[in-house]
Structure 1
Amino acid sequence: MEVSECSPQRHSLLDAIHRFNTATTIMDETIMVPSMLQDITPTKEQEMPTKSTDLLGQDNNLYDSYLLLKSLRNDMKWGVHRENGVTGGQSPDREAPEEETSDLVDQFQHHLRGLLSVLTKLTKKANLLTNCYKKEVEAGTAGPFSTNHYY
């Protein structure tokens, strides 16, 4: 099972969050031995059309990417916490002055576009990790000690 790519009809924040959550859940359920990721390097056909360094970081460390994706999913589900409590900036009850309203709309749209872009990239990263792990496990089960070779 793999999360579908972003289509123009499904370019909403809620859909992007759902796709990211689904991809990271599948990744988490598929990867039974996360430490195996330390020894896996994605092959050329497993890399995304964009630079792999954009999705995997400079050293293509799949294990660190796995931990990062899990952490981001938890932050998204449960909120980001600091040592002294939940982060929040301004109080939600406080009203913005009238002159800030138009700026808030621009800020919201800017951050929404950015969040959609980041969630799409993170979803691709989770799918890539899952696929790399699956290929490694499949390659391991097709080896000379596989049960398929015993009669």
Structure 2
Amino acid sequence: MMQISSDPASNKHSLINVMHRFIAAANNMDETIMVPSLLRDMPLEELAASELEANNNEPPCPNKQRDMYEHYLLLKSIKNDMEWGLLKKEMSSGASFLEMAVKQEEEQQHPGTGVLPLQNNADLEHQFHYHLRGLFGVLSKLTLQADSLTNRYKREIGGGNFMR
């Protein structure tokens, strides 16, 4: 009989573990990149090529960021949204990417009220699994991107060896 661990973080396929890996990669990126402005005007092409290899030659999503600096800011913003949630953004009256997506989905579900109609509640399990798979995929790709950006920064500044 198979035993299931009571600690969800111990399961490498748990959502909590995937979230922790992304946050750890984003924190490592933030700690490594001491001068983010050095990323300005660095094209994302090399980052996209490394993602292509990591994703079994699937083409990466087209990035709207023009350079690595904007990509760095995006990864940092996503990490902050995950750690602080939507409340922080609402209090500062700035709409986050996540907040806008939630509001848009609520409007699509039931225009005017933002409430799901009763007949759609029967499909919640299917919706949950669909979004969970998507979240796993997105967080895995974001983790790879944060690691790639960190490694490229290290290469660009000489591998972290400041004394030459």
- Match runs of 1:1-151 below 5 Å: 10-41=12-43, 43=46, 47-48=50-51, 49=53, 50=55, 54=60, 57=63, 61-80=67-86, 81-82=89-90, 83=93, 97=118, 99-138=119-158, 147-148=163-164
Contact 1:24 1:73 in 2 (8 A): yes
Tell me: CA distance 1:140–1:112, structure 2 relative to 1, closer, same or farther (3 Å): closer
Question: Tell me, which stretches of 5 or more residues in structure 1 are unaligned?
Answer: 1-8
Tell me: CA distance 1:104–1:132, structure 2 relative to 1, closer, same or farther (3 Å): same
Tell me: CA distance 1:16–1:54, structure 2 relative to 1, closer, same or farther (3 Å): same
Higher RCO (Cα < 8 Å, 6 or more apart): 1
Q: Distance in 1 between matches of 2:61 and 2:33?
A: 18
Tell me: CA distance 1:70–1:147, structure 2 relative to 1, closer, same or farther (3 Å): closer
Q: Distance in 1 between matches of 2:80 and 2:132?
A: 20
Q: Indicate the percent of aligned positions where both proteins have the same amino acid.
A: 40
> What do you get for the CA RMSD once the two structures are aligned?
3.6
Contact 1:23 1:127 in 2 (8 A): yes
Q: Distance in 2 between matches of 1:102 and 1:40?
A: 48
Q: Distance in 1 between matches of 2:27 and 2:94?
A: 29
TM-score, L = length of structure 1? 0.69
Q: Distance in 1 between matches of 2:76 and 2:150?
A: 13
Partner of 1:54: helix, strand, or coil? coil
Tell me: CA distance 1:140–1:53, structure 2 relative to 1, closer, same or farther (3 Å): farther
Contact 1:37 1:63 in 2 (8 A): yes
Question: Tell me, which stretches of 5 or more residues in structure 2 are unaligned?
Answer: 1-10, 107-114
Tell me: CA distance 1:31–1:52, structure 2 relative to 1, closer, same or farther (3 Å): farther
Q: Which amino acid aligns with 1:10?
A: K
Contact 2:65 2:71 in 1 (8 A): no
User: Structure 1 stretches (4+) deviating beyond 2 angstroms?
Assistant: 39-44, 50-56, 80-90, 99-102
Tell me: CA distance 1:104–1:33, structure 2 relative to 1, closer, same or farther (3 Å): same
Q: Which amino acid aligns with 2:68?
A: L
